[in-house]
Chain A
Amino acid sequence: MKRFRFSKLMLVLGLLFIYMPMVILVIYSFNGSKLVTVWGGWSVKWYVGLLDNSQLIGAVGRSLEIACYTAIAAVILGTLAAFVLTRVAHFKGRTLFGGLVTAPLVMPEVITGLSLLLLFVAMAQLLGWPEERGLMTIWIAHTTFCSAYVAVVVSSRLRELDLSIEEAAMDLGARPWKVFMLITIPMIAPSLAAGAMMSFALSLDDLVLASFVSGPGSTTLPMEVFSAVRLGVKPEINAVASLILLTVSIFTFLIWFFTRRAEKRRQRAIQQAIEEAAADGWKQPDARRAPAPIAA
């Protein structure tokens, strides 16, 4: 019994450790004093001041644009990768493929950033593309590492799915593509949404990759914040950081809300099906599961 209490205590302390600095940061962003360590009463002047900072606003716009494109591309790519890893048991280079999908999760960002930059430079020399580095190259870099996160999230959902529904559709003559669009996609929709939001947030946050592959005139928000932070703590940065925290919290809340709603709906549907089956008073014979016909 004692260990239970110890682990709970650690959980509470750990959560405090995780959240205290962020709470302090948000509180201090409302500090009226120019000195960041002295409390000078509540004020929103740093937030108002941000509106005049056109350089910062431009960076925010660029970051949001990249994050949107990244979310879309990473979900498509990551879902395909997850589908291949969970449903296609044998093909040439499967181990390599698995490694390529999961390695970006842990690869130090400085290595990925440097290698991508060198690739773009080499490509520009050989092919003449990309002519100059900017939003496009940052988008490619972000899509590559975000799709790994999406693949992990989606594949865990794909594994839980009941294969028999897809098999039934296929037995009834639906083409694999149609089965995927009409049956698989709706069933994994919550994890797709979670993956998209995760990619959006990750892309919005990334500093190291963007620093390597960006070009002149494509400074993103984290790069802007970083160059200011290097010089020390500033009240304006407190305000920017608080706004970013707010955005991320809203996203997190939305994810939680959507997954909970999907879960509830699913449980209600299962409950309903059980009740209807009971009311009908007959039981379907237990279908023998045939080995999964893989999309040919």
Chain B
Amino acid sequence: MNKLTRALQRIIPGGRQLVIGVPFLWLFLFFMLPFFIVLKISFAEADVAIPPYTQIYTFVDQKIQLLLNLGNYAMLGDDDLYISAYLGSLKMAFFSTLMCLLIGYPMAYAIAKARKDVQTVLLLLIMMPTWTAILIRVYAWMGILSNNGLLNSFLMWLGVINQPLEILNTNIAVYIGVVYSYLPFMILPLFANLVKHDESLLEAASDLGSSTFNSFWKITVPLSKNGIIAGCMLVFIPVVGEFVIPELLGGPETLMIGRVMWQEFFNNRDWPVASALAVVMLAILIVPIVLFNRSQAKEMEGKA
């Protein structure tokens, strides 16, 4: 019996390997490996079959033939639709990140300065929307922004406008929706950073005659660099691939890459082109993602 246990112990990996191995294997299999498959299929051709693409390698007469079809990528470069969709997504992501930062920074600052018991409640109020479906929060805006919606009725009742403003199904509505949905993701990392700041630095500055604004700009802002990076990345990266918000609030002129990819995949059933679109999107986003991972790794190891 003892021999058996010892033999078993040799075969079964030790606790350490198991603890590291299980999450590693899961994430590798279901998060990393799929990207390589996307890459592979982006070189295939669309086909009327199940699944709807051709194989990129064939094994005939003891020869492996690898057939890489670059047509999908060439098409992305040629077609204005795709280029303007990428540019539209980047522009949307950039400006909404900026707006989130401008609105979110003061909010995070106020929460960090609040009393401890108030702080928990405020944090919870900020966090709750992130657990509510984006779908529902965006849907709420559909009712408010539509031509005969609440906002227009209210403005007309005030007498500010005579005719309803066209907001729903324009880029303005998408901006509102994006800032609204992603604001908490900006505030939370900023708060986590701001709350750790040492008050005595600000006191020292004010003792030496620095104005409040000056010390804010020269001490608080530089110290919160990591929080700003994390917050901006948490907003910027997902917004580039956002689908739900432009689909529900945007109009025909709202070209965003997530939406175009969705249409290629679900409406045109062109899996290779959708894959190529995803690969290029990932290539654009890889730098921000690495930046985010670095700041997150520092945070997790407690070095930040």
A contacts, CB < 8 Å to B = 1-4, 6-8, 10-11, 14-15, 17-19, 21-22, 24-25, 28, 36-37, 77-78, 80-81, 83-86, 88, 91, 93, 95, 97-112, 114-116, 118-119, 121-122, 125, 140-141, 143-144, 147, 152, 155-156, 159, 176-177, 198, 201-202, 204-208, 211-212, 222, 225-226, 229-230, 232-233, 237-238, 241, 244-245, 248-249, 251-252, 255-256, 259-260, 294-296
Interface assignment of B95: CB less than 8 Å from any CB of chain A = no
Once the chains bind, are A230 and B31 in contact (CB under 8 Å)? no
Measured between beta carbons, the chain B residues less than 8 angstroms from A105 are 234, 292, 296
Measured between beta carbons, the chain B residues less than 8 angstroms from A21 are 137, 140-141, 144, 180
Interface assignment of B10: CB less than 8 Å from any CB of chain A = no
Measured between beta carbons, the chain B residues less than 8 angstroms from A226 are 135, 244
B contacts, CB < 8 Å to A = 14-16, 19-20, 22-24, 26-28, 30-35, 37-38, 41, 51, 103-104, 106-107, 109-111, 113, 120-122, 124-129, 131-137, 139-144, 146, 148-150, 153, 180, 183-184, 187, 212-213, 216, 233-234, 237-238, 240-244, 247-248, 258, 261-262, 265-266, 271, 274-275, 278, 281-282, 285, 288-290, 292-293, 296-297, 300-302
Once the chains bind, are A28 and B109 in contact (CB under 8 Å)? no
Question: Would A77 and B30 be within 8 Å (CB), given that A14-B103, A114-B38, A245-B132 are in contact?
Answer: no
- Selected from B33, B128, B143, the residue in CB contact (under 8 A) with A252 is B128
- Selected from A86, A109, A141, A295, the residue in CB contact (under 8 A) with B16 is A295
Once the chains bind, are B31 and A80 in contact (CB under 8 Å)? no
Measured between beta carbons, the chain B residues less than 8 angstroms from A119 are 30, 33-34, 37
CB distance from B212 to the nearest CB of A (A): 6
Once the chains bind, are A237 and B139 in contact (CB under 8 Å)? yes
Once the chains bind, are A256 and B281 in contact (CB under 8 Å)? no
Measured between beta carbons, the chain A residues less than 8 angstroms from B281 are 108, 111
19 sampled A-B residue pairs with Cβ under 8 A: A11-B111, A14-B104, A24-B143, A37-B150, A80-B19, A98-B297, A103-B293, A109-B241, A114-B275, A118-B38, A119-B30, A119-B37, A141-B30, A156-B300, A207-B133, A233-B146, A244-B132, A256-B120, A260-B120
Give the distance in Å from the alpha carbon of A6 to the alpha carbon of B107 in the complex: 9
Measured between beta carbons, the chain B residues less than 8 angstroms from A91 are 20
Measured between beta carbons, the chain A residues less than 8 angstroms from B301 are 85-86
Give the distance in Å from the alpha carbon of A127 to the alpha carbon of B11 in the complex: 26
Measured between beta carbons, the chain B residues less than 8 angstroms from A108 are 237-238, 240-242, 258, 281, 285
Once the chains bind, are A116 and B103 in contact (CB under 8 Å)? no
Once the chains bind, are A121 and B23 in contact (CB under 8 Å)? no
Measured between beta carbons, the chain A residues less than 8 angstroms from B14 are 296
Give the distance in Å from the alpha carbon of A112 to the alpha carbon of B293 in the complex: 17
Give the distance in Å from the alpha carbon of A95 to the alpha carbon of B290 in the complex: 11
Question: Would A102 and B19 be within 8 Å (CB), given that A7-B109, A205-B133 are in contact?
Answer: no
